A and B are shown apart, each in its own frame.
Chain A
Amino acid sequence: MKIIVAIKQVPERDAPIRIAASGKWIEEADLQFAMNEPDAYALEEALQLKEKHGGEVIVVSAGPERVATTIREALAKGADRALHVVCDDLADRDALGVANLLAAAIRPENPDLVLTGLQSEDVGLGQTGVILAELLGLPHSTLILQVEKTDGGIKVKRELEAGWFQTIEMPTPAVLTIQSGGNKLRYATLMGIKKARSKELRTLNAADLAASARAVVTLEQISLPKKQKSTQILPGTGKEAATALVEKLKFEVRVL
């Protein structure tokens, strides 16, 4: 199986987020970045499929220079090679604009399977995989927890809402968005990190991909969210705050 995994580099989970002076994006200068966790699950699924059935795992990611560190991490975990679509205007593109870039990079590879995480942890659109399927003309399914190879296709376990699931069969090639929790994530080994240095990382220039960047949906402004409730913050040391909370639970919430 030839599997392509689309991964995104996002700000680290605990990174302090500040709004940029433009008011249209976040201040990226002093941020730490990491692999989008749902994409890490997609990569894990791909690596396990390769271990079972053989083949090749190729990682593709779009973004500026810094994205290369996340790509190296994927290679260290076991991906065979990578495509880096270099573009500095990722945040200005809408979901279709980003998917256009990825599709242009993926198309010449003719993969059997394209996997990606169900959504990104930064903008959280949750659309890239589904749009990719449309652009590549492939069947798709979303929120997938398990993938099984069948004759001529795949059988997948899809998560529905409120604890329900469903099995779906489809021919390959196909596109799947992977839900977290289906597998355990692996860590890169020292050996893997060493090997990753010599693996192929090909860069493609966004400008050369003939992918339209015209956005039909634009992020005009970002701001701090409006609070839905006025939170009473209980100050003091851990012990003082705990004592104050118990008072509230006893006399105001009345659950003690």
Chain B
Amino acid sequence: MSILVVMEERDGRIGRVSWEAFTAAQLLGTQLNQPVAVVIMGAQTEPLAAEFAGKHAGRVIRLEHALLAPYTPDGYCLALEQLIQSEKTSHLVFPHTYQVRDFVPALAARMGEVLIGDVVAISDGPVFTRQLMQGKLSGAYEHSGDGPCFVSVQAGAFRAEPVAAPSAGAAATIETFSPQIDAGRIRTKPGEPFRGEVQTVDLSSAQLIVSVGRGIREADNLPMVQELATALGAELAASRPICDNGWLPMERQVGSSGQSVAPRLYLAVGISGAIQHLVGMKASQCIVAINKDPDAPIFEVADYGIVGDLFEVVPALTEAVKAAKQ
């Protein structure tokens, strides 16, 4: 039996979260005493296979077919299903990306299996930990199916290994697997990716960010938070629901579907800290959270916290900041 890790391309290279998935797969491999093989999928898999081989020893499978570009869930399910049938696979490990969320649950279901998605830790068993209730709880999951166990790992949960060239004599072995894909079985026609609105706010270069979430209740209360941002000299950002409501433009959204930021200060006002938001800001140097709920997951990543009514704390903070700057 072996463990397969399916790596994904990002900007022409192996994406960071795919390296993290590789780390998770190696962890499983050590636990189960099984070899790990790397799978690169696409129409032209040579560059990524070479990138991997330049950094690591091990077995690389190029799962290649002209119909695997552009990505479609049908194409990817068909190709990977055939590879799994020809390999004795105990576990498949994926990065938890939008693309993985789009096709892996279907492939798992086809094999009578269920993806354990968005995993943040793997312990002996193996037991897979993932978050529940918007991050308020952790769940320990186990697999008991007869087929392979499908796992996807959350971005940032496993550390990508430092990149080192493989030592001489320990080169990677690269092989190619050519699946049979009939064009008629690909039912969706994807178009070229395009950017949404023209981005005029680059939050990723901001040193200080004040970010606002659902706790603000109504659009009319936003000026209060804007005042705090202005007093600090910070950019104003928001969690997804604020932008969904049209209270702030989408370009000010921080999180998995918005911008990723790592400022010196991230001050979260009325943000509970759902994982989709946390992945976009947890790399910030200092995180301050103001929230009325002491159990809000934002406090799990915060350096400083104020548990209280933001309508009381924020104006007081604005005044205190102004006074300190005088």
**By the criterion CB–CB under 8 Å, are B114 and A96 in contact?**
yes
Given known A171-B187, A180-B241, A253-B264, contact A165–B196 (CB-CB < 8 A):
yes
By a CB distance below 8 angstroms, the chain A residues around B187 are 139, 170-171
B300 within 8 A of A: yes
Compute how far the CA of A158 lies from the CA of B142 in the bound complex, rounded to whole angstroms: 32
Our pick among A96, A139, A163 for the contact of B74 (Cβ within 8 Å) is A139
**By the criterion CB–CB under 8 Å, are A253 and B144 in contact?**
no
Chain B contact patch, size range: 35 or more
B190 within 8 A of A: yes
**By the criterion CB–CB under 8 Å, are B246 and A184 in contact?**
yes
Residue of A nearest to B282 (CB): A228
Our pick among A224, A245, A250 for the contact of B137 (Cβ within 8 Å) is A224
By a CB distance below 8 angstroms, the chain B residues around A245 are 288, 304, 306, 317, 320
By a CB distance below 8 angstroms, the chain B residues around A215 are 114, 144
Given known A163-B196, A233-B306, contact A243–B320 (CB-CB < 8 A):
yes
By a CB distance below 8 angstroms, the chain A residues around B193 are 160, 164-166
Residue of B nearest to A127 (CB): B105
B170 within 8 A of A: no
Compute how far the CA of A168 lies from the CA of B99 in the bound complex, rounded to whole angstroms: 14
By a CB distance below 8 angstroms, the chain A residues around B42 are none
Residue of B nearest to A158 (CB): B190
By a CB distance below 8 angstroms, the chain B residues around A171 are 187
Our pick among A123, A134, A228 for the contact of B106 (Cβ within 8 Å) is A134
Compute how far the CA of A17 lies from the CA of B147 in the bound complex, rounded to whole angstroms: 34
**Nearest-CB distance from A23 to chain B (Å)?**
10
Residue of A nearest to B192 (CB): A166
Compute how far the CA of A188 lies from the CA of B297 in the bound complex, rounded to whole angstroms: 31
Our pick among A95, A122, A241 for the contact of B105 (Cβ within 8 Å) is A95
| A-contact 0/1 string along B122-159, CB 8 Å cutoff | 00000100011111111111111111000000000000
A210 within 8 A of B: no
**Nearest-CB distance from A119 to chain B (Å)?**
9
**Nearest-CB distance from B326 to chain A (Å)?**
11
Compute how far the CA of A215 lies from the CA of B249 in the bound complex, rounded to whole angstroms: 42
Compute how far the CA of A252 lies from the CA of B232 in the bound complex, rounded to whole angstroms: 16
By a CB distance below 8 angstroms, the chain B residues around A135 are 109
By a CB distance below 8 angstroms, the chain B residues around A11 are 133
**By the criterion CB–CB under 8 Å, are A126 and B188 in contact?**
no
Residue of A nearest to B299 (CB): A231
By a CB distance below 8 angstroms, the chain A residues around B191 are 166-169
**By the criterion CB–CB under 8 Å, are B194 and A121 in contact?**
no
Compute how far the CA of A179 lies from the CA of B162 in the bound complex, rounded to whole angstroms: 35
A73 within 8 A of B: no
Compute how far the CA of A124 lies from the CA of B97 in the bound complex, rounded to whole angstroms: 14
Compute how far the CA of A215 lies from the CA of B243 in the bound complex, rounded to whole angstroms: 38
By a CB distance below 8 angstroms, the chain A residues around B74 are 139
Given known A184-B246, A253-B286, contact A124–B299 (CB-CB < 8 A):
no
Given known A164-B193, A242-B316, contact A142–B101 (CB-CB < 8 A):
yes
For window 95-144 of A, CB contacts with B under 8 Å fall at: 95-96, 99, 121-127, 130-131, 133-135, 139-143
- 10 closest A-B pairs by beta carbon, nearest first, are A216-B145, A238-B312, A181-B244, A139-B187, A242-B316, A127-B105, A167-B191, A242-B317, A130-B105, A134-B106
B→A interface (CB under 8 Å): 73-74, 97-98, 101-103, 105-106, 108-110, 112-118, 127, 131-147, 187-196, 199, 207-208, 214, 232, 240-241, 243-246, 250-251, 256-260, 264-265, 272, 275, 282, 285-289, 293, 295, 297, 299-309, 312-313, 316-317, 319-321, 323-325
Known: A131-B109, A141-B188, A165-B196. 15 other contacts (CB 8 A): A17-B137, A26-B133, A124-B131, A126-B118, A143-B102, A160-B193, A161-B98, A163-B259, A167-B191, A170-B187, A170-B189, A215-B144, A217-B141, A232-B304, A234-B304
